[in-house]
Amino acid sequence: MLDITKMLHAVIDLEYDIDDAKELLIGPTARRQTIIVWLDVQLAAFADDAAWAKVLSKAPTNQAGMKDHYLKCVALMLLYSAKRQWTQLVVMDDPTWQRIITADQSTKLADLNKEYLAIKHFLSGAYYSHRQEDFRHAWHLLLKMGIVDFKIQPKELETGYLQLIKDLHAQFAE
């Protein structure tokens, strides 16, 4: 299982460092909007690099880019949960974790498309209608997509995530 608490604290600390480095002074509404917009961009970039929907091209999967964008999606989801004070929604009990990691793998175009569109739909409901359950569904689907569908091992996910946060800290410390 992922150490969600450690991952949450890491992205929150990163946000403070970025705010200091960029001298950002934005309100909570603009902050949440920015997170959702950037999450949408990263989710699209993840799908683009995964290449499942590129029906008009022969583009190969970009594994490194796909993983990087996926990890950024995870970070942004965790950050959004903190900004909404919904961190209880990202922490999972063992039965929920088992349900996610043992779900059937989606490999067909239609199934991957449905998952991707469902994540976007649920994020929209979480943002516009403030529905916590929509956010929880989006979070679970995102984890399922990475871990089950694209076979990112949980330990690899957590290690890669923490390295991403460390690299971003270093980038903004310069």
Averaged in consecutive runs of 10 residues, what is the pLDDT profile of the chain (174 residues)?
A: 94 85 80 95 96 81 92 98 97 96 94 97 97 98 97 96 93 76
d(CA 35, CA 75): 10
pLDDT, residue 40, reads: 97
What pLDDT, on the 0 to 100 scale, is given for residue 172? 77
| CA 78/CA 3 separation, integer angstroms | 12
CA-based nearest residue to 159, from 90, 86, 71: 71
Q: What pLDDT, on a 0 to 100 scale, did the predictor assign at position 83?
A: 95
Domain region containing 141: 4-173
C-alpha 113/C-alpha 18 separation (Å) is 33
pTM of the entire structure? Answer: 0.93
Total of domains in the chain: 1
